Every structure is written in structure tokens, then in C-alpha cells.
Amino acid sequence: MNEATHNPSGGEASSSPAGGDAGNPFHIGAEGCVDPKPLAAYRLGFGIFAVWFWHEVFWKLRDEEATWGNVTLALARLRSAMNALFVEIHPNVFADLDRAVTDFAVKTRRLTDLSPPLKGEDRDDDSTIFETLRREWEALKGLADQALDVSRELRSLYDFGASLGELRLNLWDWGPGSILDKEALERYQRWVEAGASDPVPDMRPLVRAAMRLPQNLVRHIPYIESLVLCAPQLESTERPLYLKTFLDRHKDLCRWYDARGEIDHSIISTMVDALDCAIEAGLETFNAEIKTPLPLQEEIAPSWNEITGEFIYGSFLIKKYAEHAWTVRMVLDKFQSENWKKKILSPFHEDEFSARLKEAQRILNSKQKLIRFRRSKPNHISWK
């Protein structure tokens, strides 16, 4: 059984996207020849975490035959993604990464050998083997992080894939994987006994990675677009509400999601697995040019271009304002000149600031939900 059919996290089993060949990075889409590199960049990021995810599954469920081949499959998919990105990766980095993947695969086969030891053969205990492989994987991940330079157009896709892969790994570590670990199980029981609800993972790294993706790609895949559109809720509401809002838009990602119930690990794990399949399906049909993403940054602030009239958040175009929209332009000019401080003074004269500021707020908030503007006394306007 392979990674596409076995879901150890307790969620719904996922399958390859309809109409696509998930194992072939050179898939030809319905609209013609599709550049394989965007999908490969995403798979490289997601795949580096999939390798360790399936290692952890193997060591926790090694008696289940269904888990035996997934590490090998994950490594094969990782190598396939590397090969598709050959021209994008510096030759020295590619050679080091290729050698590291080969070495890791050899050590994996040797250290996960389930056959009985030969007479007189000494083998390390499981904990020693596990820690050895973890160190090897961390070195492998470090090389993968160097594969696509931050200035390369495809880097944002790698980062997004890595964020989703890390989220899945964290869900396993805290959820089903922790149940088999005595210390983690005791920690979880104390959490429940204290009256706390099932903890929801931090979605902000994934959402910030989605914001750095090229705008045409975000619009092409509705699931990613919703991750971005729901982003303001992460700063103003609890994490479960963000996930509820997202799943209300895409109930197809988890067939047993109920808006009236609580968000638990099984729902989130199912959502992550289905989201991975949906993103791969979208990338298999994406044949537009990948444009350079915005520079990577920890805090994403809006951006206003008074020449083009474009108001942008992350890589998402919120609105484009005409030259005669003076009221809105004056507010955006002031925010831009002050590097998008959360709150600024009104740019209007005292005898007119109340009416014009109210009108600017109405127009800025109209027909978009990504950023909200608010007026506050005596003469300030803020955004979030």
C-alpha cells in the first residue's frame, strides 16, 4: 500500500486527483504541455517532510505491512521532483542533494530491515536507529532548503509545499503518533483532564506561505485563494474559527466535517491530505508563467502603487483604483509613506476629515474582505 492510499492519521484515505497522474511530474494537461517545474517545486518542499513523516509512521506501526513501502515511495517522489528541477538547481547543490538522497535511501533500507538478525550479528536498538535516521534526515532537509534560491521564481512553491508537509508532520506528532508514545500520551491526558479542548495547530506559517505565491497561481487554485482570503481572521480570532471558515468554503476536503461541531485532529488531518491532492491537481493543469514572488518576509504588509493604482496584499491584488479616486488615494498614499503603520492620522484637513475619512473607509472596505479599515476618534484610521 502506498502513500496515496494509506492514511495513518486516522483521517479519510486520499487518492490521486481525478484526471491527473500524481506520480508523473511531466503530466500533459488538457490545455497542452504543462511546465513540470511548478509541481516539482511544490513536491520537493512537501516531499522532504513526507520522507520523515513516513519514517515516523513506520517506527510507530512497524508491525503493519501497509507502512513498509511508504518511505521508499516518498524518496522516489522526492528524487523525481529533484530531476524535474535539474536546470533550476545549482550543479554543486544538486550533486550534494542527489548524493544525500542516495545515502539516506541506503541507510533506510539497512536500518529498517525487518528480517531476523543473523547468528552473531549485532544490531542497534530501535531508539538508536531512529535518532541516527533523524539526524540524517535533518541534514537532507538542510540541503533541500538550499536547492532553490530565494530569488528564484519557484521558491515560493517550495516554501508552500514545505509548510503543508510540516503541518502534516506536526499533526502526526501531536495526534495519532503521540498516542503510541508514553510521555506524549501522558501530556495529552493532562491536557484533557485540565478541561482543554483538542489543540488546533498554528495555520499561520501555511497561510503566510500561500500569500507569497504568485497571484495568478493563487487565483488558479480556489483552495489556496481561500487560505489567503481568510487570513485576516488569524490575527483577530481563535484558530478554530479560521479553520471553520475555510472548511465552510470547501466541505469537499472532509466529508464528515460538521459546521456545528468542533474541529479535531481527524478533520484537520483529512483536510491536509485532501488539500495536498487538490493542489497537485491544480498544478498539473497550471500552464501560465510563474512570476517572481514577493520577497520573503515575516510580517506581510499591504502595498500601494500610486502610479498603477494597484493595492496589493502579499501577492493578492485587492483592488485597482482609477486616477480620479482622490479620497482613497490620499489615504493609501499616507499609509504607504508611513510604511503601513497599523494606525495613522487622517490625511485630510480638519474641517473635512470626518466626512472624507468616512467615505474613504467605505470605499476601501467595499467588495473585498482581505483587509478591513476602521476609523477611530479623534481623526485616525487603522487597518488589520
Domains in the chain: boundaries = 28-284, 302-383
- Give the pLDDT band (50/70/90) at residue 162: very high
Mean pLDDT to the nearest integer, 298-324: 78
CA distances from 62 to 1, 66, 114 (A): 14, 9, 9
Q: Which one is predicted more confidently, 252 or 296? A: 252
Cβ neighbours for 217, distance < 8 A, ≥ 6 positions apart: 38, 157, 224, 286, 288, 290
- Phi, psi for 28 (deg, rounded to 5): -100, 115
∠ CA 180-182-184, nearest 5°, is: 85
Cβ neighbours for 84, distance < 8 A, ≥ 6 positions apart: 25, 26, 36, 37, 39, 40
What percentage of residues in the chain have a pLDDT greater than 70? 73
- CA gap 284, 261 in Å, rounded: 34
Q: Are 80 and 25 in contact (CB under 8 A)?
A: yes
The pLDDT of residue 111 is 66
Mean pLDDT to the nearest integer, 138-142: 92
Q: Which one is predicted more confidently, 277 or 196? A: 277
Q: Look at residues 300, 277, 146, 159 and name the one whose alpha carbon lies nearest to residue 221.
A: 277
- CA gap 69, 35 in Å, rounded: 29
In the chain, the DSSP E strands lie at 28-29, 32-33, 302-305, 310-313, 316-320, 343-345, 373-376, 380-383
> What does the pLDDT look like over 170-193, one tens digit per residue?
888 877 665 556 666 676 667 666
332, three cell numbers: 493609501
Indicate if the alpha-carbon torsion angle 275, 280, 284, 288 is positive or negative: positive
CB atoms within 10 A of CB 151: 10
Cβ neighbours for 370, distance < 8 A, ≥ 6 positions apart: 228, 229, 231, 232, 313, 316, 318
Q: Are 371 and 383 in contact (CB under 8 A)?
A: yes
| Average pLDDT value for the chain | 78
112, three cell numbers: 529498517
The pLDDT of residue 47 is 96
Q: Which one is predicted more confidently, 18 or 65? A: 65
pLDDT for residue 243 is more than 50: yes
- CA gap 246, 200 in Å, rounded: 14
- Phi, psi for 146 (deg, rounded to 5): -90, -5
User: Which pairs with CB-CB distance under 8 Å and at least 24 residues apart come from 83-89?
Assistant: 84/25, 84/26, 84/36, 84/37, 84/39, 84/40, 85/37, 85/40, 85/41, 85/44, 85/147, 85/148, 85/154, 88/37, 88/41, 88/147, 88/148, 88/152, 88/154, 89/147, 89/148
Q: Which one is predicted more confidently, 22 or 219? A: 219
pLDDT for residue 157 is more than 90: yes
- Give the pLDDT band (50/70/90) at residue 202: confident
The pLDDT of residue 250 is 92
pLDDT for residue 233 is more than 80: no
pLDDT for residue 310 is more than 50: yes
Mean pLDDT to the nearest integer, 128-145: 88
pTM of the predicted protein model: 0.67
Q: Look at residues 88, 3, 2, 5 and name the one whose alpha carbon lies nearest to residue 39.
A: 88
Cis peptide before 378 (omega within 30 of 0): yes
